[in-house]
Structure 1
Amino acid sequence: MGGGEPLQLIAHNNNQWTIDDRALEVLKRIKAPIAVVAVCGRARTGKSYILNRLLGAAGAAGFEVASSYRPCTKGLWMWSQPLRRTALDGSNYYLVLLDTEGIDAYNQTTQDGVSLFSLAVLLSSLFVFNQMGGIDEAALDRLALVTELTRRIRVHGAAAAGGGGGLLEEVSALSEFTPSFMWLLRDFYYDLEGEHGVKQSPRDYLETALMPTAGSGPAVEAKNTIRESIKSLFKERDCVTLVRPVADEAALRNLDTLPEDQLRPEFAEGVSKLTAAIFVRAQPKRLGTQLLNGPLLAGLAQAYVKAINTGAVPTIHTAWHSVAEGECRAACYAAEDAYRASFNPNTPPDEQLLEKEHQRALAAATAAFKERAVGDPALQRRWQERFTAACNLAFEAVRERRLAESAEALERQLGELAGRLHTEARLGGQDFSRLAASVEAGISGVVGNTVGAARWPRLMAFAHQQYGSLGAELSERAAAAAEAERQRAALEARAQLAEAQRQVAALQAELSDAKQRADDATAAAAAAAAAAKANGAASRATGGAGAGRRAAAYVDGDDEYKPQASGCFGCGS
């Protein structure tokens, strides 16, 4: 059995049905398909014993066994560790065992019994009705609760109590959602012999007992209604018989603790066949075509209990729609989580790459949604549209942010490149081809550091702008250089002109000085000539001797006058 304990899934207290949170959590953890075996019947008929045999429990372990008049199981009890089973197709599912308080236990009202019976039928995939003895009129009376199901359970909300079609029509509609039925006859001592002494199988015995009886009157009609309701509600049905386990009454009260060798061999063999038959028939529960898992079963249990507590008739479609709505909502949240977990936030900021990543994450989200979502296609489509819209909205926010970051990084790199290019233009002279090569190399570097098709128009605009800007700058610099050269040449010409003018002025001054000297020399010569002339006249006046001596004073053609000796002119000394 591997441990575990009984948990009260549904209890009846103060005229209200309640669901245990621990039991719900056990169900919600079962994500695989789930089968449910509910054993129902009067108190003290050994239901817990059969369930414990299914568990493989020995001794006092497992479900509690009542040996007194007071029932031990009040409400619906389940085992805390569902049994893992393998279907014929190799798939895995889990088997949940439910033990019910006796439907006619001493402390129950008829209404409570019907509610409990209804819950067991609604939640199970195999309903085992456990009773003592054979199928007789009294046994049919105990299953009169079956006819109450049509008034306590509805398939569609429109078929309210007292409305809609007839009883058998409602039973037929309900049969699409009812479990397989097994009538377990305990302490069975009848000889299964049919007509003409032919031995019957337990199933044949059941079908014979369900055949309508002849006669008329309210009593016969009521019994035949029960028979027809059982056949109509439970399309799949079987019957199993067990002999009395022991002859000793005291030992019977401690049946669960008796060693197998103290049981009647027929009983031990019958129990072995019974458990095998239950395991075969207990297939995963379906609601229509929908295979149920633990969370879905838990949701249905809550919906049914809520309906009963409010005095409403549990409506299968209404309950299922409520559960499906809740599961689709949870599937929607799971899809959004799957999208966030799947989407790579470091996807390069490229429109196509981002869109591709979005579609990949959206596919993962859709798979997560479909794995959990249930209900009709319209309901699932509505919730799928909701989570898809949420994912699209989240993607747009990420897309805008990533593209904005990319554009900002691109502008930052282009700004740095523009600064380097203009610095090079200022320092690198007038070689435009070299600057063009620098532009191409710089843009190639930016291309290597960025991604996305959106960068190309910006890079083209940048290149066009830089070529134009650098060309204009070089033209301006060339014009400025030409102007500077022109101004330098003008200054040089002016300097040369000034120098020439200075030299001319100096030459003129020199010529003026020379002329002045010449003029002065001419004047001096004229004066000398005049003086000489005057002296000649005087000499002529004083006599010719003096003139002869003055003439002798000039020696070797020297114009300078030089006296020859001292003494008196004319003295002869």
Structure 2
Amino acid sequence: MSCSKYMPAPVCLIENYENGKLHVKKEAKDILDAINEPVVVVSVVGLYRTGKSYLMNRLAGQQSGFALGSTIESKTKGIWMWCVPHPNKKGHTLVLLDTEGLGDVAKGDSKNDSWIFCLAVLLSSTLVYNSRGTIDNTAVEKLHYVAELAENIKIKSAEDEEEGEDSDFVMFFPSFTWVVRDFTLDLEIDGKKVTDDDYLEFALNLKKGLGRKINDYNLPRECIKRYFPSRKCFVFPFPVTSQEDMTRLEILQDQDLAQQFLEVTKHFCDHLFVNSAVKRLKGGHIVTGQLLGRLVEIYVDKINSGEVPCLDNAVVVLANQENQAAVQEALKVYQRGMEEVKNMLPISIEYLTCEHQKFSRLATSEFMKRSFKDEKTEYLKKLEVS
């Protein structure tokens, strides 16, 4: 499908109600249902009013789209989605997810923030964390949602649980990119020039020693390192010189923005276009827009019911849904073919048998294209006896 035709602007994917409940919007789900291509999913998270939406608009190749806002009020509520044709991968769709700003004082619900953060992690193949100023201890502490991931997401279902489960997280979590906006320092450590990535790794160094203060300092850093071994950093200078222009970013032309800011923006976008992977399920199955829409519903239902989302269970539910649909699609192929044969009657038994076998093979082929994790061939057998 040509996504730009369907999505001239972002739509709300997950609405965040005041009572803390989440709701999947039908309009967004319908858009995902129409995408049969593999998806590359980039989510951006961060404190509210840090300019997350500007970067997402740039990734979409647009000047505006995701609401930027120019006041201290948080503009993005819930999770908003924009699907565009992938600029580098033909036959793939780039799904951009802009999340509600974390730490919005008007909301005052840190648990709800944790779920928004978890959904961004669960749904994306690349997670962008957007912050302002420097990567100091305060900035790292504000990413405390990472330390809560092991409590809020499970890899295995209860009966398969075992010690050391969080070491499995790495295999299924997105790559991680930290964006530091309005950075004014020199990129130097001990008098030597360093890269953006060196700066991030330096900020994530652990302190030696024991005691509560040191443990509190090390915990978020240990979690970031453990859960996101694939890490990247971009430091952005101020885009403009005047405070007034900072509130008008989406209407400013490129010539009004600082050259270095534009260069980093281009480098950031190019990096994500080339390096963001296709979203895959546990087990390696490629996620299409259709499957992504179903995943969103499965995870949101689980959170609303007060349970912790489990990757294994989500894949099982998704596989059952897909395999049932695959059986129905395969049956249609067989029935359409045999309907044509029926219109040719009378015919010989040999010809009828030959056509039956031909359309049975076509139906099986159709089933195999869509089905996954039918390890006990339960659904293939259903197709054969139908």
TM range (shorter): over 0.9
The two structures, once aligned, show a CA RMSD in angstroms of 1.7
* SS of equivalent to 1:78: strand
Superposition map of 1:272-351 within 5 A:
272-288=266-282, 289-343=284-338, 344-345=341-342, 346=344, 349-351=347-349
2:76 maps to 73
Correspondence list, 1:386-397, <5 A? 386-390=382-386
Q: Which residue of 2 aligns with 1:171?
A: 166
Other structure's SS at 2:188 match? coil
Q: 1:45 aligns with which of 50, 64, 69?
A: 50
SS in 2 for 1:10: strand
Could you tell me which residue of structure 1 aligns to residue 25 of structure 2? 20
Q: Which has the higher contact order (CA 8 A, sep 6+)?
A: 2
What is the aligned partner in structure 2 of residue 356 from structure 1?
A: 354
The whole-number CA distance in structure 1 between the counterparts of 2:182 and 2:346 is: 76
Equivalent position SS for 1:286:
coil
Deviations 1:130-161 (A, max 9, x none): 0002211111111111111100000012289x
The equivalent position to 2:13 in structure 1, one of 9, 33, 37, is: 9
Q: Hey, what's the Cα distance between the residues in 2 that align with 1:109 and 1:194?
A: 38
Moved more, 215-224 or 67-76: 215-224
Q: In structure 2, what residue type is equivalent to 1:178?
A: F
- The CA distance in 1 between the partners of 2:374 and 2:192, in whole Å, is 50
Answer whether contact 2:88 2:273 (CA < 8 A) is retained. Answer: no
SS at structure 2 position matched to 1:279: helix
**Uncovered stretches (5+) of structure 1, i.e. residues with no partner:** 391-573
What amino acid maps onto 1:6 in structure 2? P
1:195-216 alpha-carbon deviations (Å, 9 max, x no partner)? 4x33211112212222211232
Preserved CA contact (<8 Å) 1:181 1:237: yes
Q: Is the CA contact (8 Å cut-off) linking 1:348 and 1:354 kept in structure 2?
A: no
Structure 1 contact 52–63 (Cα < 8 Å) conserved: yes
Paired letter, 1:84: H
Q: Once the two structures are aligned, what percentage of the paired residues are identical?
A: 35
SS in 2 for 1:312: coil
Conserved? CA contact 2:323–2:374, under 8 Å = no
The 1:147/1:316 distance shift into structure 2, 3 A limit, reads same
Displacement of 1:388 after TM fit? 1.5
1:19 maps to amino acid: V
In structure 1, what is the Cα distance between the partners aligned to 2:348 and 2:124?
54
**Secondary structure of 1:188 counterpart:** coil
Counterpart AA for 1:117: F
SS at match of 2:241: coil
Q: Shift of residue 367 of structure 1? A: 1.7
Q: Which aligned pairs between 1:109-124 and structure 2 lie closer than 5 A?
A: 109-124=109-124
Q: 1:347 to 1:278 in 2, by over 3 A?
A: farther
For residues 159 and 373 of structure 2, the distance between their equivalents in structure 1, rounded to whole angstroms, comes to 21
Helix, strand or coil: the match of 1:360?
Answer: helix
| TM-fit CA distance, 1:374 | 2.0
Whole-Å separation in 2 of the counterparts to 1:173 and 1:12: 30
Deviation by residue 1:175-230 (Cα, 9 ceiling, x = unmatched): 111111100111112222234x3321111221222221123222221221211211
Q: How does 1:100-139 map to 2 (within 5 A)?
A: 100-106=99-105, 107-139=107-139
Counterpart residue type for residue 387 of structure 1: L
Structure 1 position 377, deviation (Å)? 2.2
How much has 1:387 moved relative to structure 2? 1.2
Task: Check conservation: 1:85, 1:92, Cα contact below 8 A.
Answer: no
Residue correspondence of structure 1 range 193-208 to structure 2 within 5 A: 193-195=188-190, 197-208=191-202
Query: More deviation in 267-276 or 216-225?
Result: 216-225
Cα deviations by residue, 1:362-421 (Å, 9 ceiling, x for unpaired):
11111211111122522xx1111101110xxxxxxxxxxxxxxxxxxxxxxxxxxxxxxx
Corresponding residue for residue 143 of structure 1:
143
Q: Distance in 2 between matches of 1:189 and 1:370?
A: 55
Which of 264, 285, 293 is 2:258 aligned to? 264
Structure 1 counterpart SS, 2:56 = helix
| Deviation of the 1:69 alpha carbon | 1.5
> What's the counterpart of residue 36 of structure 1?
41
One-letter code aligned to 1:8: C
Q: Under a length normalisation based on structure 1, what TM-score does the superposition of the two structures give?
A: 0.63
Counterpart amino acid of residue 85 in structure 2: L
Find the aligned partners of 1:183 and 1:135 in 2 and give their Cα distance: 9
TM-score normalised by length of structure 2: 0.93
Tell me if 1:95 matches 2:94.
Answer: yes
- Of residues 363, 366, 370, the one that matches 1:365 is 363
**Structure 2 Cα separation of the partners of residues 56 and 348 of structure 1:** 60
For the structure 1 residues 335 and 86, does the alpha-carbon distance in structure 2 shift closer, same or farther, using more than 3 Å as the test?
A: farther
Aligned length: 376
Q: 2:176 aligns with which of 181, 192, 195?
A: 181
Once residues 234 and 352 of structure 1 are traced to their aligned partners in structure 2, the CA distance between those partners, rounded to angstroms, is 61
Kindly provide the amino acid, as one letter, of the partner of residue 66 in structure 1: G
Distance 2:87 2:381 in 1: 36
Q: Is the CA contact 2:88–2:274 (under 8 Å) kept in the aligned structure 1?
A: no
Is the CA contact 1:171–1:229 (under 8 Å) kept in the aligned structure 2? no
In 1: Cα distance, 2:345 partner to 2:148 partner:
62
Q: Structure 2 counterpart of 1:356, which letter? A: C
In 2, the alpha carbon distance for the partners of 1:355 and 1:85 equals 48
Greater CA radius of gyration, 1 or 2? 1
Supply the distance in 2 between the matched residues of 1:356 and 1:108 (Cα, whole angstroms).
68
The answer on whether the counterparts of 1:146 and 1:230 sit within 8 Å (CA) in structure 2 is: yes
Instruction: Please give the alpha-carbon distance, in whole angstroms, between the structure 1 residues aligned to 2:345 and 2:263.
Output: 66
Cα distance in 2 for residues equivalent to 1:266 and 1:350:
77
- Distance in 2 of aligned mates of 1:318 and 1:222: 33
Sort the Cα spacing of 1:230 and 1:385 in 2 relative to 1 into closer, same or farther, 3 A. same
- Is 1:221 matched up with 2:215? yes
Which amino acid counterpart does residue 320 of structure 2 have in structure 1?
E
Q: Secondary structure at the match of 1:176?
A: helix
Name structure 2 gaps, 5 residues minimum: none
Off by >6 Å, runs of 4+ in structure 1 = none
- How far 1:347 moved relative to its partner? 6.1
Q: Which has the higher helix share?
A: 1
Letter in 2 for 1:325: N
Give the alignment of 1:483-498 within 5 angstroms.
Answer: none
Secondary structure in 1 aligned to 2:180? Answer: strand
